[in-house]
Structure 1
Amino acid sequence: MTAVVGGRLSWFKEIYAAPGSSETKAESGKFTGYAGLVHALNKDWSAYVSYADIFEPQAERDVGGHALDPVTGRNYELGLKGELLQGRLNTSFAMFRYDHSGRAVRDLAAGFACDGWYCSRASGKVRSQGGEAEVSGEVARGLQLFAGYAYTTTKYLSDPENEGQIFSTWAPKHMLRVWADYKLTGALRNVSVGGGVNTQSHTLGYGRTFNVPGFSTWSARLAYQVTPEVSLALNVNNVFDKRYYVPAYSTTASNNHYGDPRSAMLTLKYTPLR
């Protein structure tokens, strides 16, 4: 069993000046702590648990021109990490809970009162929680794999306007990323081929009145080791030229943007031998 403890002292000072007025926001010696335990279950697997305080200064201001107080909260994590195949393959599994209060959100009710744009207000208590799983390394001779899955939910626990609502409308509940790269053998031993997919579930429009569809994009790579010092690689992103909307502050009338179309990049790399 290994115990890890730590802390941070923070000082910050922010001066906001406008015609005819100014405001100073400051904090001196704010302490945020961290603590964790790691238990080696055997030579390959370890379990851990951790806790951390949250303190994030922010520059946004409210309709009265006052800077918002820093974001405060707590983060908890519980996980398992392991090495397989004599250390060639790394795996991790984690569950997390992140509670915070005071993060700046748009104050739509105030209109464009802050220099012709929306002001901000401090949110109530928000909880983000979920789990992650990841595996990476050499799963077979010449085959490198990365796969990661994340499940995330965000919710207002208390708020004068949005209690019970989803907090982060642009954060997908499910996200999966997979990439594999294989180095050929024999006469083609200098060639490697790769491919992968990024996929995510739907998100919400800014007003939480409609779904922004989820999407999957595929990528591919072909590489050739010309000499020990020179390599050539062709990467193609969004191979099938998928048309999709980027999660953002989408509304029924505006701010709906397509993601990047198919693109290709040819790279020549020279690495001198030591």
Structure 2
Amino acid sequence: MIPYAGIVYDLSESHSVYASYTDIFTPQSYFDRDNKVLAPVTGQSYETGLKSEYFGGALNTSFALFLIKQDNYAEYDGMRADGQDAYKAVSGTKTKGFEAEISGEVMSGWQLLAGYTYAQPRDKEGKRINSNHPEQLFKLATNYQLSGDLKNLNVGGNLTWQGSTYSELDSSIKADAKEGSFAVVGLMARYDITQDLSASVNLNNVFDREYLSGYGLYSTYYYGDPRNLMLGMKYRF
């Protein structure tokens, strides 16, 4: 049984503050250089925040601060002799940060979802860990349903922005790969032909941004999808 405690206090009908604490115990499937499974991740997680709602619950916002302390955190450690990935357990890590989100109906027919997360994972010496994941991430998605004769048409878009990432191999090879901050934009349109049948078109990576979407062995990397167009039809039974 993992200990958990939480409290919520209603400031008003629209605003509530909360705080929570929980222990962490997560078994792992990562292997070290000696082909041994890493011990479970243990630690503590603390979070406090504010949640609000507007227009009778049509629009919601949240803001949270968090601190996560972990031991046996799995960090990439090169390759084993058999060619498989190796990981090492890092203790005394701390991840602190905050996240903010707004979601719901801004005005009649206009839906919005936006969120920003800042998470700073560090080892006990203060060095950044898990650097192949961004410390900052912002996502925005919006959809608008037209009115009148075009009431069956929905148009929208999305934007994803993330901070810099990198992958480095602390060995004789001294290889690394890096990606600065970047944003990717998408557009969409959907037309409801009937109550159950709809057609859609999505234009992804509108500005054909070249970016690294992930990292592989020995700090190799691979690119995200270039600009592309997707057409689709959906029928609901």
Fold equivalence (TM over 0.5): yes
Residue 260, structure 1, aligned to residue 225, structure 2: yes
CA distance in 2, matches of 1:233, 1:130: 37
Find the aligned partners of 1:61 and 1:243 in 2 and give their Cα distance: 33
Using the alignment, how far apart are the partners of 1:91 and 1:183 within structure 2?
22
Aligned mates of 1:155, 1:100 — CA distance in 2 = 10
Residues 21-41 of structure 1, C-alpha deviation per residue, up to 9 Å, x if partnerless?
xxxxxxxxxxx1111001111
Q: Does 1:245 align with 2:212?
A: yes
8 Å Cα contact 2:77/2:169 also seen in 1: no
Aligned with residue 91 of structure 1, among 54, 61, 67: 61
Mapped partners of 2:211, 2:217: distance in 1: 13
| Residues 63 and 186 (structure 1), Cα distance of their counterparts in 2 relative to 1, 3 Å cut | closer
Quote how far apart the aligned CAs of 1:247 are. Answer: 4.1
**1:67-95 CA deviation, whole Å, 9 max, x = no partner?**
32111011111011111011110111101
Deviation at 1:119, TM superposition (A): 3.3
In the alignment, does 2:79 pair up with 1:117?
A: no
Q: Distance in 2 between matches of 1:210 and 1:232?
A: 40
Counterpart residue identity of residue 92, structure 1 = S
How far did 1:97 drift? 0.7
**How far 1:207 moved relative to its partner?**
4.4
Please tell me whether the aligned partners of residues 205 and 250 of structure 1 are also in contact (alpha carbons under 8 angstroms): no
The separation in 2 between residues aligned to 1:99 and 1:226, in whole angstroms, is 52
Distance 1:222 1:118, change over 3 A: closer
Q: Structure 2: any 5+ residue segments left out of the alignment?
A: 171-175
Distance 1:118 1:256 in 2: 15
Structure 2 CA distance for partners of 1:201 and 1:62, relative to 1, 3 Å: closer
| Structure 1 counterpart SS, 2:13 | coil
- CA 36–210 in structure 1, closer or farther in 2 if over 3 Å, else same: same
Between the aligned partners of 1:186 and 1:198, the Cα distance in structure 2 is: 31
Contact 2:75 2:130 in 1 (8 A): no
Q: Which structure would you say has the larger RCO, counting Cα contacts within 8 Å and 6 or more residues apart?
A: 2
Structure-2 separation of matches of 1:250 and 1:175: 24
1:165 aligns with 2:127: yes
The residue that corresponds to 2:173 in the other structure is none
* Paired residues of 1:156 and 1:165 also in contact (CA < 8 A): yes
Deviation at 1:63, TM superposition (A): 3.5
What do residues 97-123 of structure 1 show as CA deviations (whole Å, max 9, x unaligned)? 111011222334xx633x233533211
Task: Name the residue aligned to 1:213.
Answer: 180
Contact 1:51 1:74 in 2 (8 A): yes
Q: Which residue of 2 aligns with 1:50?
A: 20
When residues 188 and 206 of structure 1 are mapped into structure 2, their CA distance, relative to the original with a 3 A threshold, is: same
Question: In structure 2, what residue type is equivalent to 1:56?
Answer: T
**Which aligned pairs between 1:177-188 and structure 2 lie closer than 5 A?**
177-188=139-150
Structure 1 residue aligned with 2:31, among 24, 44, 61?
A: 61
The percentage of aligned residue pairs carrying the same residue is 38
Partner of 2:121: 154
TM-score by length of 1: 0.78
The separation in 2 between residues aligned to 1:269 and 1:119, in whole angstroms, is 43
Distance 1:119 1:187 in 2: 60
**Aligned match of 1:71:** 41
Structure 2 SS opposite 1:246: strand
- The residue aligned with 1:103 is 73
Residue range with higher mean Cα deviation, 90-99 or 197-206: 197-206
**Pairwise mapping of residues 122-133 of structure 1 onto structure 2 (< 5 A)?**
122-133=89-100
Please point out which of 144, 148, 151 is paired with 2:111. 144
Q: Which of the numbers 3, 10, 13 marks the counterpart of 1:40? A: 10
- Cα gap change, 1:64 to 1:243, in 2 (>3 Å): closer
Distance verdict in 2 for CA 1:85–1:102, change over 3 Å: same
